[in-house]
A and B are shown apart, each in its own frame.
Chain A
């Protein structure tokens, strides 16, 4: 019974692919009219309507500029230096070596695999925020990418679902229900976060499939750590140079990272 259901779902999904592949593809080159843009959701991330035309600032008026409280700034700055060293002394050399050995296409596959795996986090948080469309799209993307995308290594779902990805997490769900950042936290190893997003991270651990896959293994913690470190090295290998350029263009790298984190999270929450 269950197997039949799975088959049925597969068939539906594949039909879905065939039916809409050509249409969405034909449209990709014509994102011209702003009216159609709003309907289609061409963007992966924030729509133009989320951004205010004009400015959120004119001299003398600084409302709308959010500054995150940072009561533990001296400690946070200490951890920032630690993370910076960790990057340059460990993460970067390892990722650079890994990059030399593994071709880019495979590294992209690995990134896709981990992204696909974490579908439950995104889907459940869509539900918690009442984003039924997002929930459907996340489930749909998962089925397409797990089947047609070979266990999530590829991303054929991109061609099926032209709408935005719903990269939701529990931190965003808490924000949806009105919880503010609280204050800024720079975690050693994990990097920039806030009180709210740290609670969010802890909540998402319950939905993280990795934790369930390793559950009955003898060296549970060790395997878990290895898997996560590998994910980190792989994703770092794809963005090498970005942190360096941020640091070079910044006059106060800590403040730059803190603000970038806040703005990035705010834009995710606006979506």
Chain B
């Protein structure tokens, strides 16, 4: 029974192979995937550039990564979704302050993740678009042969796709921060959360 299935797959693969080699520029990959690919390639180019590896270039390296990330991530959307019901009723200044601090925290987390980059392979698996929203699936193959599925959630704004959530092995970054922030707010207060956020961001 399984034999049949795999036979069929083999044929499909061969067909795909033929189609793909005839048309290498590949029209099937859509826009959101292209934009994720663009950002990823840009970041990989920076982190694997030997000229930027030396300690005196560390800040330049960080700056370049930050630029690439800023262009693709929608910090406000992320903040809104993370604070959830606590977003409603915040003043504009509070919102601004939160976006700034939370954006810095996410940036640092992301920076530290990519700083560890050591030739992991990124493959673009699939994408799904529904109106203004899209998901792009990516697989990261680590050096010790572990495959990590990553999903980017994107929202389109002015004809451009922006990331507002990342799911790594099924765990959504935004959902994770939301439950942490809820827990902190219930145990202390919104001001307590801001203080913790600021301490963490200013730590380094």
**Which residue of A has the minimal Cβ distance to B170?**
A267
**A258 on the B face (CB < 8 A):** yes
A57 and B125 contact, CB distance less than 8 A: no
Asked if A243 is an interface residue, CB under 8 A from chain B, the answer is: no
A residues in contact with B29, CB < 8 Å: 32
Q: Does A14 contact B (CB under 8 A)?
A: no
Q: Is A220 an interface residue (CB 8 A)?
A: no
Of all chain B residues, the one with the shortest Cβ separation from A37 is B126
Which residues 1-36 in B have Cβ within 8 Å of A in the complex? Answer: 1-3, 6, 9-10, 12-14, 16-17, 20, 26, 28-29
Interface stretch (choices B37-45, B49-57, B62-70, B130-138): B130-138
Q: Which residues of A contact B26 (CB under 8 A)?
A: 32
CA distance A51 to B149 in the complex (A): 12
Asked if B137 contacts A48 (CB within 8 A), the reply is yes
Choice from B126, B167, B184 contacting A252 with Cβ under 8 Å:
B184
Contact partners of A53 in chain B: CB under 8 A: 128-130, 133-135
Which residue of A36, A44, A51, A136 contacts B16 across the interface (Cβ within 8 Å)? A36
B200 touches A251 (CB 8 A): yes
Contact mask A31-49 → B, CB, 8 Å, 1/0? Answer: 1111011011011111011
Check B81 against A249 for contact (C-beta < 8 Å). Answer: no
Least distance between B85 CB and chain A CB atoms (Å): 6
- What is the total number of residues of chain B having a CB less than 8 Å from a CB of chain A? 70
C-alpha gap A263/B166 in the complex (Å): 13
- Which chain B residues numbered 150 to 170 have a C-beta less than 8 Å away from chain A? 151, 153, 164-165, 167, 169-170
Chain A residues at the B interface, C-beta cutoff of 8 Å: 16, 20, 23-24, 26-27, 29-34, 36-37, 39-40, 42-46, 48-49, 51, 53-57, 59-60, 62, 65, 67, 104, 107-108, 133, 136-137, 140, 155, 162, 238, 241, 245, 248-252, 255-256, 258-260, 263-264, 266-268, 270
Given contacts A65-B84, A245-B113, A259-B179, 20 further A-B contacts (CB under 8 A): A31-B123, A32-B28, A34-B126, A46-B149, A46-B170, A48-B128, A53-B128, A53-B133, A53-B135, A56-B175, A65-B175, A67-B182, A136-B1, A137-B2, A251-B193, A251-B196, A256-B176, A256-B179, A260-B171, A267-B169
